[in-house]
Chain A
Amino acid sequence: MNSEIRSLSDLDLWPGGLLVIDSGGLITKTNATLRDWLKQDDNNPDTSTRLVDILTPASRIFFETHLRPILVFEGEFSEVSLELVRRDGSRFGVYVNGRAVRPDGQMTEAYFCIFKNEQRQSFERELVQRRRESDEFRILVESSPHAIVSSDKSFKIHAWNPAAEQLFGYSKEEVLGRRFDHLLVPPEELDELKTKVPDVIAGEVLRSESVRLHRDGRALHVERSFAAIRDENQSHTGFVTMYSDIAQRKESEDRIKTLLHEINHRSKNLLTIVEVIARQTARRYQGDAFLATFSNRLRSLASNQDILLNSGSIHVDLDALARAQLTHLVDVSDAQVNIAGPTVHLNESVSQAVGMAIFELVTNAAKYGALSQESGKVDLTWEITGDDTPTLKICWLESGGPAVSPPTRTGFGSQVTGLLLESTTSGETHHDFAAEGLRWSFSAPMDQMT
């Protein structure tokens, strides 16, 4: 018996594909296994087949751009996944090891072992698919306009998306590993959070509007949802919290609240004015004449409201605006009211604010002040001072009316002639409840108002 190990002679029996190419890429040798896989005819060998001809187009590009450079410069590669194609167009996946013969640094030949790996390849494709799905999901979280923060069971942050960086001002690197309850939850909410955690773990989602602090200390209005994270076995692994910035919504809610307040106040004012008009008209007119005059005055009041709410033009003349606030009180004679000042045109928002303030002053004067008595008098005057930064100053002076005492409470009316006007115009207002009559003044830079 010969105990020597003999050289391999029949590579056709080899359970893997073997292939040799020359320097130009032409296939010079194959074994029977590879020919069988490729369904090539052993009796009628094709002598002009290149390696790239048995590769799918995508594998060809990969071979030329990645593998050939490696063969030429490094001499070999291993375990590369490629797809081969048969003449009939059917394809199968393989692993390839390649080695170049390079005397003098030039590749003269290259040898390849080829292993069929259809099962493994389907597994690889599945892994690729999974990876793509997870990439897609990651991109979704990264692109989300909502801040998303996830933590483990002990609240240690392990994900913090760009929207969270943007909203709270902390970078991902700064917060990873820190406890999100320490970082974000205000102390007064901690106890509540602790008591609710068991419910959240049980499946409840906490939703609330709340205030959180930005890194720089700013208060942020946010809507928060807090839920448990579960793995595929439904075991609890952590928590996810989503925050939406609701600053804009809060602002418009506040605006609506102010508007409702204003409408309520104005309606009451209007009823008072109607009552004043009725009383004044009834003093002089009776029967049909009363009705006609009263109706006219109400119509004039209505059009005055139109000027206030919708001036319709960009610039409103202050004199016309001031007079419009008094037209419904036609009994107020020129002798009772003095309106005087230079021509000034106000922009839309300022004219509304100024008109509302004058209307408020007129209403109060008709209810309690100088215009509630025939002996009373009002001076409404304005002037422009200052050359470099011209300033408009409007003064309202009541006299000859009942004795004035400062109001015991400040209502919405005082905002109309105060804060609201100031905030619209960057101006200043001043109330002086002098016993002989209310003195009110307002001044603001012209460049903010025209």
Chain B
Amino acid sequence: MEMSKIERCAVKVTGTGETALVFLHGYGCDSSMWRKVAPAFESRFKVITYDLMGYGQSAIEHYDRARYSTLDGHAEDLIDILDELDLSDVIAVGHSVSAMTVALAANRRPDLIAKTVMICPSPSYMNDEAYTGGFEESDLLGLLDILEVNYLGWAADMAPAIMGAPDRPGLGDKLTESFCQTDPDIAKHFARVTFLSDHREDVKKIAQPTLVLQCRDDILVPDTVRAWFDANLQRGEQVLLDATGHCPHMSFPEQTIAAISAFLKPAPLR
């Protein structure tokens, strides 16, 4: 029988509440990145976390390169999951690249997604004439080299044990044994999709209320990108957290929880 998206993406539903909050992890890791943030919302919200196809405990035999050659494939997964759970007016939280996945899904299904939260997003990492994303194409292609070298098998923490096995038996089992590991080919493929695509137009179209959380000193999101968000969000507010790095939900969970909670607080009654 056809596997549901809920099964394929190892969806976990916790918490209770009228409104649902769904958390999408970013590039390089899996849904366990939310372990310091998601539980804080369980008393007031239905909380959904899942692994992007290709990561964590997702059924990676379903990783179809054509489908996931753009973020649209991941956006469709998000829509399918929310539909399968029979939800509407969801608040979608995406970290890093998944903020763009959330944007795509929000544009496609305004009935499904009521608000979006973007953590350390960038609509495009590559510099062009009128925009400074922070990286030259050669830098981004260099990342593919680094991934490749680290997946050769030297780096015990990075290289899954299954590398090179043609039919990848038991791959899913192996991957779940350790944190943040995935199939090297998928990691490279998703790196391309993440870092070489441009979603500026999609972000401009978001009509839902949007919270953008940024950190000081995030090497993936230079000041110029924060300025771009200020200039281009339709109904958004950008908040600079008292935090550094690219993963405030891991390193500065309190600040992250507080900022999201403030955004979700209902307007005071008069």
Cβ-defined contact, A78 with B139, below 8 A: no
Measured in the bound complex, the distance between the Cα atoms of B251 and A106 in whole Å is 7
User: Which of B24-32, B230-238, B256-264 is the contact stretch?
Assistant: B24-32
Given the interface contacts A57-B142, A69-B28, A82-B146, does A127 sit within 8 Å of B152 by beta carbon?
yes
- Of the residues B28, B32, B135, B157, contact of A65 by C-beta under 8 Å: B28
Instruction: Check if B179 sits within 8 Å of A70, measured CB to CB.
Output: yes
Chain A 87-129 per-residue mask, 1 if CB under 8 angstroms from chain B, else 0 = 0000000010000000001110000000000000100110110
B128 interface residue per 8 A CB criterion? no
User: B245 contacts A64, CB within 8 Å?
Assistant: yes
The answer to whether A70 and B154 touch (CB under 8 A), given A61-B195, A62-B143, A124-B149, is: no
> Are the C-beta atoms of B180 and A69 separated by less than 8 Å?
yes
B-contact bits for A43-87, CB 8 A (1 contact / 0 none): 000000010100011111110111011101110111111110000
Report B121 CB to chain A, min CB distance, Å: 14
The number of chain B residues touching the other chain, given as a range, is 35 or more
Residue B219, interface by CB 8 Å: yes
Cα-based distance from A79 to B159 in the complex (angstroms) = 10
- Whether B146 lies near A64 (C-beta < 8 A) is no
**A131 close to B (CB within 8 Å):** yes
Given that A25-B217, A57-B142, A66-B28 are known contacts, is A72 also in contact with B155, CB under 8 Å in the complex? no
Instruction: Please tell me if the beta carbons of B247 and A69 are within 8 angstroms of each other in the complex.
Output: yes
Contact B27 A65 (CB under 8 A): yes
Q: Is the CB of B157 within 8 A of A77?
A: yes
A residues in contact with B42, CB < 8 Å: none
In-complex Cβ contact of B219 among A64, A107, A132 (8 A): A64
Tell me which residues across on chain A come within 8 A of B245, comparing CB atoms: 24-25, 64, 68
Cα distance A124–B145 in the bound complex, in angstroms = 10
CA distance in complex: A76, B135 (Å): 28
A81 touches B150 (CB 8 A): yes
Min CB gap A224→B, angstroms: 27
Residues of A within 8 A of B139 (CB): 56-58, 61
Report yes or no: B246 in contact with A128, Cβ–Cβ below 8 A: no
Partner of B244, one of A25, A56, A58, A106: A25
Residue of B nearest to A121 (CB): B149
The residue that A79 contacts in the complex, of B33, B35, B157, B247, with Cβ under 8 A, is B157
Contact assessment for B149 and A125 in the assembled complex, using a CB-CB cutoff below 8 Å: yes
Q: Judge whether A23 is part of the interface by a CB distance below 8 angstroms.
A: yes
Chain A residue nearest in CB terms to B158: A80
Which of B78-112 touch A at CB < 8 Å? Answer: 96
A415 to chain B, nearest CB (A): 49
* Inter-chain contacts of B217 with A (CB < 8 A): 24-25, 50
Q: Which residue of A lies closest to B33 (CB)?
A: A69
**Known contacts A23-B251, A24-B244, A62-B147; is-contact A70 B27 (Cβ 8 Å):** no
Chain B residues lying within 8 Å of A128, measured Cβ to Cβ, are 145, 148-149, 152
Decide: B146 and A78 in contact? CB cutoff 8 A.
Answer: no
**B154 touching A124 by the CB < 8 A rule?**
yes
Let me know if B220 and A61 touch, CB within 8 A.
yes
CB distance from B178 to the nearest CB of A (A): 8
Quick one: which of A50, A59, A73 has the most chain B CB within 10 A?
Answer: A73
What's the minimum C-beta distance from B167 to chain A, rounded to whole angstroms?
9
Interface residue ranges of B50-91 to A (CB < 8 Å): none
| A161 CB to nearest B CB, Å | 14
* Cα of A70 to Cα of B251 in the assembled complex, Å: 12
- CB neighbours of A72 from chain B (8 A): 247, 250-251
Tell me whether A58 and B180 are in contact in the complex, defined as CB-CB below 8 angstroms, given that A68-B245, A69-B247, A69-B250 are known contacts: no
In whole angstroms, what is the CA distance A77 to B36 when docked? 21
Are B219 and A61 neighbours in the complex by a CB distance under 8 Å? yes
Q: Are A73 and B146 closer than 8 Å at their CB atoms?
A: no
Residue of A nearest to B244 (CB): A24
Given contacts A25-B217, A65-B28, contact A81 B143 (CB under 8 A): no
A95 & B154 in contact (Cβ 8 Å cutoff):
yes
Whether B158 pairs with A77 at a CB distance below 8 angstroms is yes
Contact between A107 and B251 (Cβ–Cβ < 8 Å)? yes
Task: Knowing A57-B135, A70-B179, A131-B148, say if A64 contacts B155 (CB, 8 Å).
Answer: no
B96 touches A65 (CB 8 A): yes
Residues of A within 8 A of B156 (CB): 78-79
* Residue of B with least CB distance to A60: B219
Tell me if B155 and A79 are in contact (CB < 8 A).
yes
Q: Which residues does chain B contribute within 8 Å of A78, judged by CB atoms? A: 155-157
Q: Chain B residues with Cβ under 8 A from A68's Cβ?
A: 245-247, 250-251
Minimum distance in angstroms from B2 CB to a CB of chain A: 20
**Closest approach, in angstroms, between the C-beta of A162 and any C-beta of chain B?**
14
Chain A residues in 8 Å Cβ range of B32: 73
**Which residues of the other chain, B, contact A131 by a CB distance below 8 angstroms?**
148, 152
Please, how many angstroms separate the alpha-carbon atoms of A125 and B28 in the complex? 22
Report whether A69 and B29 are in contact in the complex, using a CB–CB cutoff of 8 Å.
yes
User: Within 8 Å CB of B26, what residues of A?
Assistant: 65
8 A-B pairs with the lowest CB-CB distances in the bound complex, closest first: A58-B142, A65-B28, A57-B139, A77-B157, A58-B143, A64-B246, A128-B148, A66-B28
**B-binding residues in A (CB < 8 A):** 23-25, 50, 52, 56-62, 64-66, 68-70, 72-74, 76-83, 95, 105-107, 121, 124-125, 127-128, 131-132
11 CB-based A-B contacts, threshold 8 Å = A25-B217, A56-B139, A59-B146, A64-B219, A65-B29, A65-B220, A72-B251, A73-B32, A74-B179, A78-B155, A131-B152
